[in-house]
Chain A
Amino acid sequence: MLEIKNLHVKLEEEDKQILKGVTLSIGAGEVHAIMGPNGSGKSTLSYVLSGRDGYSVTDGSATLDGVDLLAMEPEVRAAQGLFLAFQYPVEIPGVGNMTFLRTALNAQRKTRGEPEISAGDFLKLVREKAKALKIDADMLKRPVNVGFSGGEKKRNEILQMAMLEPKMCILDETDSGLDVDAMKLVSEGVNALRSAGRSFLVITHYQRLLDHIKPDVVHIMAAGRIIKTGGPELALEVENNGYADLLAEVQ
C-alpha cells in the first residue's frame, strides 16, 4: 500500500534537515504506529506525505499502490485515497460542516471521474456516519471546527475520514487534547473503519491510544529516522522505560 524509501526532507525556509532516511512499508489492511519524542520528525512525515508546502524532498521516494505520491498535488493524493487526520484541525468560518464535506467528497469524485453524489444520498450517508460518532445535527450545520471543543474537532476528523473512505489513513496525534471518553469514541470510530483494504499510520506520543487502536507494527522514530521496529510490545516498552534507553541503544 504505502512504500516509503530512504526519505530525506528538509524545511525549505530554514534549510534544516528533518527526515534523514525514513524507510517504511505498510501493507493493505495493516495498522502501523509511529512513536517518538518531540521533534523526531513524526508530524513532518505526515505533512510531506499529504503534500503540505514548505518542505522539500532531497532524496528518497514515497509511493501509494506503486504511484509516486510526492509528484502529486495534495488534492490528487486525497482523491487517490490518502487521508490525514490533523493534529490541529483548521477552522473555516462561515462554511457549514455539511457544505465542506459535500464539496470535498464531490471534488474527489470529480478527480476520479465519478459522478457527483446526489443531495439525498449525501444526506443519508452523512447522517448515518455522524450517528456512529455521536455527532449531532447541530454540529453538522455549524461552521467547520469553529467553536468546536478538542474532542469535537477530532471526532469531526474521523467523520471526514468515514465519509471520504480513504485507503491510507494517517492519524497525526489524534489523541492529543482528548479526555478518556473522547479517546474511546474516536478510537471506536477508527476501529469501525478498519478493513482488509484500508491501512493506517497512527502517530502518537503515548501508548494509551494504542490500547484502543491495536497496531500490527510499532516503529520508534528519533532524529529523523526510524530507529526500531517491533510488535505492540514495543509500545509498552516505551511506556514503561521512556525513549532514553532506546536512543542510547542506537547510539
Chain B
Amino acid sequence: MANLDVDLPLLEVREGVDRETIETVAAMGAYKYGWATDIEMDYAPKGLSEEIVRLISSKNGEPEWLLDWRLAAYRRWLGMEEPHWAMLHYPAIDYQDQFYYATPRSMAVKPKSLDEVDPKLLATYKKLGIPLKEQALLAGVEAPEGERRVAVDAVFDSVSVGTTFKAELAKAGVIFCSISEAVKEHPDLVRKYLGSVVPPTDNFFATLNSAVFSDGSFVYIPPGTRCPMELSTYFRINAENTGQFERTLIICDRGAYVSYLEGCTAPKRDTHQLHAAVVELVILEDAEVKYSTVQNWYPGDEQGRGGIYNFVTKRADCREARAKVMWTQVETGSAITWKYPSCILRGDDSQGEFYSIAIANNAQQADTGTKMIHLGKRTKSRIVSKGISAGRAQNTYRGLVSMHPKATDSRNYTQCDSLLIGDQCGAHTVPYIEVKNTSSRVEHEATTSKVDEDQLFYCRSRGMSEEEAVALVVNGFCREVLQALPMEFAMEAQSLVAISLEGSVG
C-alpha cells in the first residue's frame, strides 16, 4: 500500500504576518469553519475495490465476521444503482475518483489517551470550539456549579481521535467510544446490533457505508440508567477528495435515557466531497433517546462550486413497548442534503418525533424529511418541519407516514411549513401517507409563505439591519424546532440560521 504525503493548499504567508490573522480573515466569510488543518495524512489508494475494503478492515484490526459483513455489502453494492427519486440535480459522482480512507499519520498508532493525541488535532477542535479536555476532571476538581458537561467523540476524516469523559461514564455503566474500539472491546454488543436497524442491504448509500465505514461513535446505556451527561460526536472532514463514511450505533437499554448531539463541519474547497453516514438507534422498553444534529458541512460557494454531498441514512428502532425517540435536526450546510431520519414504532405505545429546520441558500439543494412507520398499537408520531429557501436553492420536504394493519389506535400529526426568501428559490412538499387500519388518525398541515416585505420594513424601521431583520423573522418561523434543541445547541443554531442566510436579501 502506498502511503502518500499530501500537503494541503495553504495561503501564502508574508513575513511578519501571523498565520492566525490570515485564517481569521479567511474565516470571516459567511462560512466560519472553512479553514483546513495542515497535517500529515496517510491515504489508502484512490478508488473503491475489494482491496480497499480489506485494507480498511485490517487498519481497524477487525475480526473475520466484520470483514465478511463488509465484503458482502460491497459485492451487493456493485449491483446497485444510485437512487434518483429525490428532487436533487448534480453531476454523476465518480466513486473511483476519491479516497475512502484518510487518517492523520500521528494516528497510525492509536493514542492511549487524549494526552497523547497530536497537538495539531487538539488545536483543530479547540478552534472549532469543541472542548476535548476534561480539565475539571483531570485536575481533580469539581466542575463549577451549574456548568453542564458534554462528553465528546471527535472524528477527523476517517478516524476517531479521542473520546472525553470515558472513565466517568464507565462508572455509570455507560459505554461511549469509537465504533472501531467497540468492535474490539464489546464485540458481542456490536455484533448483535450492527445493521439491525439499517441492514447492509438497505439502500445504495447505506450499503456503500456498510462496506467502507471507517469509524464513528458507539454508545450503550445500560438498563435503568440516565446517562449522566450529554454525549456528542463532532465530525470534521479535513482531507481533500476524501469521503467520510461514519457509522454511529446507539443502544439505549430498557428504561434508560440519553441525549446525543452531533455536529459537522468541513473546509472550503472547490470540489465536491461525499459524506455517506449511517446512524442506527436501538431503543428498548421504556427507554428514550434524543438525537440532535446541527449539520453545517461546507455548503459550496454562491455559484455552487464545491460543498459536501450529504447522503445519510438515520433510523431509530423503537423496538419494545413505550420506547421513545426524538430527532431534531438543523440542516444548514452541504451542497446536497439527502436525509430522512426515521422512526420504526414497533413497540406498542412507542413514540417518535421529528423536528427539522432545513435551510438552503445560494445553489444548495435539500431533499429531507422523515419516515414514521407505525407497527405497534397506540403508537404516536409528530413531525414539525420548517424549510427555508433563499437564493436559487431548492428545498424539498419528503415524508412518509405509514400506519400498518396492526398499528391500531395510532396517531400522527404533521406540520410542514416552507418559507421563501426572494423569487428564484423553490419549496416543495411531498408527503406520502398510508393508512391500513380504520382506528388510526393522521393529520397533515402545510403552509408556504414568503418573507414579507412589511415584516422586514417594520424591523428595519426599529433599527435592525436588513440581515438582522431576516434572521429575526426566520428564527421566529423556526421557533418550535429551536425550542426542541438542548439550550446551548439552540443558541448555536439560532446564530447559524442568521449566518446561513447572509447575502440572501438586498
Residues of the A chain whose Cβ atoms lie less than 8 Å from the Cβ of B479:
94-95
Instruction: List which B267-288 residues lie within 8 A (CB) of chain A.
Output: none
- Please determine whether A104 and B454 come into contact, CB atoms closer than 8 angstroms: no
Residue of B nearest to A52 (CB): B457
> Is A174 engaged at the interface, CB distance under 8 Å to the other chain?
no
* Total inter-chain residue pairs, C-beta < 8 Å: 79
Which segment, of A70-78, A196-204, A240-248, faces chain B? A70-78
Q: B173 an interface residue at 8 Å Cβ cutoff?
A: no
Judge whether A41 is part of the interface by a CB distance below 8 angstroms: no
A94 smallest CB distance to B (angstroms): 3
- Complex Cα distance, B449 from A93, in Å, reads 12
- Cβ of B472 and Cβ of A78 under 8 Å apart? no
Q: Is A26 an interface residue (CB 8 A)?
A: no
Chain B residues within an 8 Å CB radius of A78: 460-463
> In the complex the two chains form, what is the Cα distance from A52 to B453 in whole Å?
10
Most chain A beta-carbon neighbours within 10 Å: one of B455, B466, B472, B473: B472
The residue among B458, B463, B479, B480 with the most chain A CB atoms within 10 A of its own CB is B463
B448 within 8 A of A: no
Q: How large is the interface on A (under 10, 10 to 19, 20 to 34, 35 or more residues)?
A: 20 to 34
Residue in B454, B457, B458, B468 whose CB lies within 8 Å of A103: B468
Interface residues of A in 66-95 (CB under 8 A from B): 73-75, 77-79, 83-84, 86, 89-95
**A93–B461 touching, CB < 8 Å:** no
A107 within 8 A of B: yes
Which of B452, B462, B466, B476: most chain A Cβ within 10 A? B462
Interface string of A101-130 (1 = CB under 8 A from B): 001110110010000000000000000000
- Which B residues lie within 8 Å of A92 (CB)? 455, 458-459, 472-473, 476
B interface secondary structure, majority: helix
Residue B179 interfacial (CB < 8 Å): no
Q: How many residues of B contact A (CB 8 A)?
A: 23
The answer on a CB contact under 8 Å between B465 and A107 is yes
A104 touching B457, Cβ below 8 Å = no
Interface residue ranges of B410-465 to A (CB < 8 Å): 452-455, 457-465
Pick from A73, A94, A143, A160: contact of B462, CB below 8 A: A160
Say yes or no: A104-B477 contact (C-beta < 8 A), given A52-B457, A92-B472, A95-B472: no
- For the complex, what is the distance from the CA of A84 to the CA of B472, rounded to whole Å? 20
Partner of A90, one of B455, B463, B477, B478: B455
Inter-chain contact B476/A94, CB cutoff 8 Å: yes
Chain A residues contacting B464 (CB-CB under 8 Å) are 75, 103-104, 107
Of the candidates B454, B465, B476, the one whose C-beta lies within 8 Å of that of A93 is: B476
Chain A residues in 8 Å Cβ range of B480? 94
CB of B106 within 8 Å of the partner chain: no
Q: For residue A86, which residues in chain B have a CB less than 8 angstroms away from its CB? A: 458, 461
A80–chain B nearest beta-carbon distance, Å? 10
How far apart are the CA atoms of A107 and B471 in the complex, in Å?
Answer: 13
Closest to A95 in B: B476
**Contact between A164 and B457, CB atoms less than 8 A apart:** no
Interface assignment of A50: CB less than 8 Å from any CB of chain B: yes
Asked whether B475 is an interface residue with its Cβ less than 8 Å from the other chain, the reply is yes
A206 in contact (CB, < 8 A): no
Residues from chain B with a CB closer than 8 A to the CB of A53 are 453, 457
Distance in angstroms between the alpha carbons of A100 and B471 in the assembled complex: 12
Chain A nearest CB, measured from B448 CB (Å): 14
Q: Does A215 contact B (CB under 8 A)?
A: no
Q: A92-B455, A95-B472, A107-B468 are contacts. A74–B477 as well, Cβ < 8 Å?
A: no
Assess whether A51 is interfacial by the CB under 8 Å rule. Answer: yes
Give the docked Cα–Cα distance between A74 and B456 (Å).
Answer: 10
Given the known interface contacts A94-B477, A94-B479, A143-B476, the answer about A79 and B463 at a Cβ–Cβ threshold of 8 Å is yes
Give bound CA distance, A26 to B455, whole Å: 29
* Residue numbers in B under 8 Å from A50 (CB-CB): 461
Distance to closest chain A CB from B493 (angstroms):
14
B453 to A, closest residue via Cβ: A53
Contact with A along B301-320 (1 / 0, CB 8 A): 00000000000000000000
Residue among B454, B466, B468, B476 with max Cβ neighbours from chain A (10 Å):
B476
Interfacial chain A residues near B473, Cβ < 8 Å = 92, 95
Q: Beta-carbon contacts of A150-187 to B below 8 Å, as 1s and 0s?
A: 00000000001000100000000000000000000000
Kindly report which residue of chain B lies nearest to residue A50, judged by CB atoms. B461
- Which residues on A sit within 8 Å (CB–CB) of B458? 86, 89-90, 92
Chain B residue at smallest Cβ distance from A101: B462
A73 vs B457: C-alpha distance in the bound complex, in angstroms? 11
Interface residue from B460, B465, B468, B476 paired with A51 (Cβ < 8 Å)? B460
Shortest CB-to-CB span from B482 to chain A, Å, is 9
Is the CB–CB distance between A104 and B463 below 8 Å? Answer: yes
Q: Which residues of chain A come closer than 8 Å to B460, judged between CB atoms?
A: 51, 73-75, 78
Output the nearest chain A residue to B469 by Cβ-Cβ distance. Answer: A75
Whether the pair A104, B462 counts as a contact (CB closer than 8 A) is: yes
A-B contact pairs, 6 of them (CB 8 A): A73-B466, A74-B457, A75-B466, A90-B452, A90-B455, A95-B472
Q: Which residues of B contact A (CB under 8 A)?
A: 452-455, 457-466, 468, 472-473, 475-480
Chain A residues with a Cβ under 8 A of chain B:
50-53, 73-75, 77-79, 83-84, 86, 89-95, 99-100, 103-105, 107-108, 111, 143, 160, 164
Give 13 new A-B contacts, CB below 8 A, not counting A52-B461, A94-B477. A51-B460, A53-B453, A77-B461, A78-B462, A89-B458, A90-B454, A93-B477, A94-B475, A95-B473, A107-B462, A111-B463, A143-B476, A160-B462
Top-6 shortest CB links A-B = A94-B476, A95-B476, A108-B463, A94-B479, A104-B462, A78-B463
